């Protein structure tokens, strides 16, 4: 089992709709969870971090964490074409940041 | 704050030669830096953890004699790909965090180095 798993997509969402990205992780002791956005040929940029169960909202982005189910998700409301990118879920386990394989998201105008 | 600079951004080298990639923390001192590699359409894979003043810690399957890491100062870590081969062509990204944030905070990434070995 991979340490961090994501659906690789591609995920296609119409402009203005809600994009939902999901991630599961294997290390039950993990405490820190992050979502990064990566445009083609660029380094990842942090968009959300979450450390406790529940929802965390920041603008159009909402991160959701369920430690019992070992599940973390990212919702993007009012999706824009500029949101088209690969979204990487990352989890800190054993003092290192482990990434999922990423979900490629395309927002269709 | 917490800016990480990586150089060069792109490099093309011939098979068998060595390439050095630099990672600098510009506005903080980093006792620990991380080197990742990303193949096309794949995720970032941690290669090694660079520790200032001591040996780097390599992940399983990463050849330490091929990927030489030097962290001689608190603001600079270098990755040297020795005797490069076409299969080493990849996107190499370094990352670091200010002291006290190394292990529980998101990392600040450099802009990456696109290595192409011909």
Does A61 lie at the interface with B, CB-CB under 8 angstroms?
A: no
For B46, the closest of A36, A96, A101 (CB atoms) is A96
Q: Do B93 and A41 touch (CB under 8 A)?
A: no
Average pLDDT of the residues in B11-26:
96
> b/e string for B33-58 if b means 16 or more Cβ within 10 A?
bbbbbbeeeebbbbbbbbebeeebbb
Q: Which stretches of chain A score pLDDT less than 50?
A: none
Does B100 lie at the interface with A, CB-CB under 8 angstroms?
A: no
Q: Give the gap in angstroms from C-alpha A106 to the nearest C-alpha of chain B.
A: 15
Q: What does pLDDT average to over chain A?
A: 93
Q: What does pLDDT average to over chain B?
A: 90
Higher pLDDT among residues B106 and B109, named by residue? B109
For B107, the closest of A41, A97, A102 (CB atoms) is A97
- Tell me: the pLDDT tens digits for B28-71? 888 889 999 999 888 899 999 988 888 999 999 999 999 999 99
**Cα-based torsion angle of the residue sequence A7, A42, A94, A10 in order, rounded to the nearest 10 degrees:** 0
Question: How much is the pLDDT for B1?
Answer: 60
Question: How much is the pLDDT for A1?
Answer: 62
- Retrieve residue B76's tokens: 């600079």
Alpha helices (H) along chain A: none
Question: How much is the pLDDT for B48?
Answer: 94
């Amino acid at each position: 089992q991979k340490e961090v798993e994501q659906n690789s997509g591609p995920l296609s969402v119409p402009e203005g709709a809600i994009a939902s990205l999901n991630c599961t992780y294997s290390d039950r002791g993990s405490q820190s969870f992050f979502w990064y956005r990566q445009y083609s040929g660029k380094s990842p940029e942090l968009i959300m971090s979450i450390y406790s169960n529940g929802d965390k909202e920041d603008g159009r982005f909402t991160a959701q964490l369920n430690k019992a189910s070992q599940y973390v998700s990212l919702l993007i409301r009012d999706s824009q074409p500029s949101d088209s990118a690969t979204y990487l879920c990352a989890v800190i386990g054993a003092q290192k940041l482990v990434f999922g394989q990423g979900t490629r998201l395309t927002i269709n105008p | 704050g917490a800016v990480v600079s990586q150089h060069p951004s792109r490099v093309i080298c011939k098979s068998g030669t060595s390439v050095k990639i630099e990672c600098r923390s510009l506005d903080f001192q980093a006792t620990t830096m991380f080197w990742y590699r990303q193949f096309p359409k794949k995720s970032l894979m941690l290669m090694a953890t660079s520790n200032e003043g001591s040996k780097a810690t390599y992940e399983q399957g990463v050849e330490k004699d091929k990927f030489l890491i030097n962290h001689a100062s608190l603001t600079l870590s270098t990755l040297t790909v020795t005797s490069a081969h076409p299969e080493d062509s990849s996107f190499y990204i370094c990352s670091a965090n200010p002291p006290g944030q190394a292990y529980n905070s998101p990392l600040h990434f450099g802009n990456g180095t696109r290595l192409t070995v011909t």
